[in-house]
Structure 1
Amino acid sequence: MLGTDDLRFFLAVAEAPSLAAASRALDVSPSAVTQRLRALEERLGVHLVDRAGRHLALTDEGELIAERGRRIVDSLAELDEALAARRGQVVGHLRIVAPLGFGRRHVAPVAAAFQADHPQVAIDLLLSDRLGGVPSGSFDLAVHVGEIAQAAPGLIARRLAPNDRVACAAPAYLAAHGTPAAPADLRSHACIALRENDEDVTLWRFRRDGQEQRVRIEPRLASNDGEVVRGWALAGRGIILRSEWHVAADLRAGRLVRLLPGHTLPDAPVMALLGAPRRARAARTRRFLDALAAALDPAPWRA
């Protein structure tokens, strides 16, 4: 006989890449997870998880329990939410994914304020610049900076705020090395690359008068952290291509100078991706999305 606590425990194990990860998700020791899993298997009389190797693999019986158990747990959550809604309350577990830098600056404050307003909502905020590596079924809402050519099946995209990309450099760098007059001039400059997502970050694409001009840069400095890249630019180490939200204050203060003003770059609007339809309909998801949209309208970097 399986209880709801058993189902929630096993789903946490099934969704984790390892027993160690499951123990962190459950906030217990790995040995406690192993013992409880073994006891569950003995009680049911079936083998649920193949522990061979570094990663977990569900057996056929484990897959069956995970699939049907998720439906049961989701149905119970829907019932709790429906009853809470009748009492005018917002409850449940809200899982949010956002980019590292943007998430710290713009999503985390909204999440904290939202949880304070709705104390019966538990929020998990995962910051990652590799949205493609996060399973779509593991979040209720994801924030993405940049156009989305096609959302994954089952996901709903909503535009939250405008955001341009700009090429810029510090006045000290330009004084020492000159100001590029055309995109092709960038080949003779020290360019800095930000390695994020799965984009071709050394191919910079400019557009003028309807014509695209592509420049393949050879970065002398590169990092996967936007703050590092911005810091290098402020220190006069080279030219960067960054999102408007990240460097707008530096441009206004003169710490950075916008380059090639007659050219445009592909914009990178701030987008929201909603998870499975049930999660998208949940009051906590809808209300948090409304709160985030309000915080980004007007876009703070353009205020």
Structure 2
Amino acid sequence: MIDTLDLQFLLAIKEHGSLVGAARFLNVTPSAVTQRLQQLEARLDIHLIDRTARRLHFTDEGELLCRKGQTLLEQHKALLEEVMQQHGKLVGTLKINAPFGFGRKYLTAIITQFHRLYPQVEVLLKLSEQPLLEEQDRFDLVLHIGELYNSNLIVHAIAPNQRFICAAPALIEHYGMPSSPQDLLNFPAIALQENNEDTTLWCFEQKSKKQTIRVIPSLSSNDGDVVCSWAKSGLGIIMRSQWDVADALSQGHLIRLLPEWTLPEAPVVALTHRRKGMPERVHAFMSLLKQQFSPQPPWQRR
């Protein structure tokens, strides 16, 4: 009477909001979608969708099919996954959200390795400027760097990560080497806008002493690569994560300023919805992730 393919078809229309959008998603013509919908309604002898020139509206029966159908599809998928896992195979979809720069530099290689180990797991990686502001329920795992504000997600430590103040050799030659945080106010500054943090307030600590300064950036961006490029060109000082500037420091493109002062750390963590009962594919990816950054992350091996 109705099968999983019919339910998936209806949910595609629901999700994309139009027959044309569903056709594009399903890679068929709009007329093919219209014809299939008509055949489904005729087979059930139930009107599912009211269609006008401008919009479509699901009837009560159509809404019920979508709502209950979504649950049935999830149960069907979970059953198949459980059967496959009893034979030692990982299946299903693993949805990951991570920051742009860290995702490009480190996660792509780890996911490549994971895919070779578990080819039947579909991996969806979304890189975002602000992963924590995304719809978190859509993801199995969220990678976060830095302080965590008001999250009800479970935190899994992945790797330590410090923050450094850096500048190009040419900039230091022009302004001189600073001896205290207050000296940094004499330098042009560059700010990275991320995670809704106050990125112009720099808090330093040295033993029992603390100093806080407010920089006024002459350049700002939401892209870490852009910010580092400006800094290497001598346009200003930056505060960046060690993972991001380790290569530039080892190659001499940037120099760390005030190494005797520390900034708040920005550990790399993975966030999940629960600690127990996670799907095996999430466990497997977390294990591989921790393995890649243990006993030392690559930015601390240089």
Q: Which TM-score band (shorter chain)? A: 0.7 to 0.9
Deviations 1:94-113 (A, max 9, x none): 11111111001111111111
> How far did 1:120 drift?
0.9
Residues in 2 aligned to 1:282 and 1:20: alpha-carbon distance in whole angstroms: 35
Structure 2, unmatched stretches of 5+, are: none
Deviation track 1:72-108 (CA, whole Å, cap 9, x = no partner) reads: 2222222112111111111111111111110011111
Residue 228 (str. 1) matches residue 243 (str. 2): no
Q: In the alignment, is residue 74 of structure 1 matched against residue 74 of structure 2?
A: yes
**TM-score normalised per structure 1:** 0.84
The structural deviation recorded for 1:192 is: 0.5
- Asked if 2 retains the 8 angstrom alpha-carbon contact of 1:190 and 1:220, the reply is yes
State the partner residue of 1:245: 243
Q: Which moved more, 1:266-275 or 1:27-36?
A: 27-36
Q: Is residue 47–residue 59 contact of structure 2 (8 Å, CA) maintained in 1?
A: no
8 A contact 1:208–1:264 mirrored in 2: yes
Shift in alpha-carbon separation, 1:12–1:299, aligned structure 2, 3 A? farther
Q: What residue number does 1:201 align with?
A: 199
2:123 corresponds to which residue? 123
How well do the aligned residues superpose, as a CA RMSD in angstroms?
Answer: 3.3
> Looking at CA atoms only, which structure, 1 or 2, has the larger radius of gyration?
2
In structure 2, distance between residues paired with 1:32 and 1:216: 61
| Distance of aligned partners of 1:190 and 1:89 in 2 relative to their CA distance in 1, 3 Å threshold | same
1:292 aligns with: 289
For residues 10 and 195 of structure 1, do their structure 2 counterparts lie closer, same or farther at Cα, with a shift above 3 Å needed? farther
Alignment size in residue pairs: 297
Separation in 2, partners of 1:251, 1:289: 29
Q: Aligned partners of 1:66 and 1:277: how far apart in 2?
A: 30
Partner-residue secondary structure (3-state), 1:220: strand
- Tell me the distance in 2 between the aligned counterparts of 1:73 and 1:257: 55
Q: CA deviation at 1:224?
A: 1.2
- Residue 144 of structure 2: aligned partner: 144
Quote how far apart the aligned CAs of 1:49 are.
10
- The separation in 2 between residues aligned to 1:265 and 1:17, in whole angstroms, is 48
In structure 1, distance between residues paired with 2:53 and 2:228: 44
Cα deviation 1:267-293 (Å, max 9, x = unaligned): 111111124679x62111110111111
Q: Would the aligned equivalents of 1:164 and 1:265 in 2 still touch at CA under 8 Å?
A: yes
Unaligned runs of 5+ in 1: none
Deviation at 1:262, TM superposition (A): 2.5
Q: Which residue of 2 aligns with 1:182?
A: 180
SS in 1 for 2:113: helix
C-alpha distance in structure 2 between counterparts of 1:51 and 1:131, whole Å: 38
After TM superposition, the score normalised by the length of structure 2 is 0.84
Sequence identity percentage: 39
Question: Secondary structure at 1:87's aligned position in 2?
Answer: coil
